[in-house]
Every structure is written in C-alpha cells, then in structure tokens.
C-alpha cells in the first residue's frame, strides 16, 4: 500500500496519467505537466519539493523523441541524465524514494 505524498513528473503523459489514476486512491498525488514543472530546472524542482514534501517521486518525465535527441544531445542529456541525478539528490535530501522510468531506447534489459 502506498501512502503519503506522491510526485509524478511528466504529468499529462500517458504513463503519468495512468499512474495518477491508480495512486490517487491511496495517496496525495501531484502530477504536474512539463509547463508546470520542468525537471531540468533545478530551482523549480526544489520549489516543488519544498511546497509538496513528496515521500515518493515517480519520474515519468523524459526527452524521448529519438531523432530529436540525436540532434539535440545537450538537451537530451539535461533532461534524461542531469535532471534525474538532481531528482535523486533531492529525494535523498528529503528522505523520499525515487522510481525512475526508462524505455528500451535507453536500456533494453538484455545487458547486465
């Protein structure tokens, strides 16, 4: 059973919306869309943590258009790597758990 406050990043996306629907019966859930919370903006993430104090963060935010990622490597790295690191640091500081969702484009599960 999940209890407490759950922050789902990438709100409005299919996975985030499905999770929000499943979890809202069991916890206080916030799932801000990118326009409300850009995970690459550390100050915005910090403000969200301070205002909401999540006990669980489910990171569904990603820059996932493969063709655009290949052209815009710095932007892809900022969202898919640096922002995840900072989310992990914020969770550690707050005593919250982090669940990071990825795709088979990043890790297909075949390598050790």
Residue 14 lies inside a defined structural domain of this protein? yes
- pLDDT range class, residue 85, cuts 50, 70, 90: very high
Residue ranges making up the domain that contains 15:
5-100
Q: How many structural domains are present in the chain? A: 1
- pLDDT range class, residue 87, cuts 50, 70, 90: very high
CATH number at residue 52: 3.40.50.720
What is the 8-class DSSP label of residue 98? E
Q: Is the pLDDT of residue 106 over 70?
A: no
In whole angstroms, give the CA distance from residue 38 to residue 49.
13
* Residue in the block written with tokens 């990438």: 10
Residue 80 lies inside a defined structural domain of this protein? yes
Residue 89 lies inside a defined structural domain of this protein? yes
Q: What string of DSSP letters covers 11-65?
A: BTSHHHHHHHHHHTTTSEEE--BTTT--TT-HHHHHHHHHHH--SEEEE------
What is the 8-class DSSP label of residue 4? S
Residue 107 lies inside a defined structural domain of this protein? no
């Amino acid at each position: 059973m999940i209890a407490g406050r759950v922050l789902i990043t990438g709100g409005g996306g299919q996975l985030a919306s499905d999770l929000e629907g499943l979890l809202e019966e069991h916890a206080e859930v916030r799932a801000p869309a990118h326009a409300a919370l850009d995970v690459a903006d550390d100050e915005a993430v910090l403000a969200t943590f301070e205002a909401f104090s999540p006990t669980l963060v489910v990171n569904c935010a990603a820059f996932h258009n493969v063709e655009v990622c290949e052209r815009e490597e710095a932007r892809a790295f900022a969202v898919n790597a640096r922002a995840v690191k900072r989310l992990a640091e914020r969770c550690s500081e707050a005593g919250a758990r982090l669940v990071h969702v990825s795709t088979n484009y990043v890790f297909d599960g075949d390598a050790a």
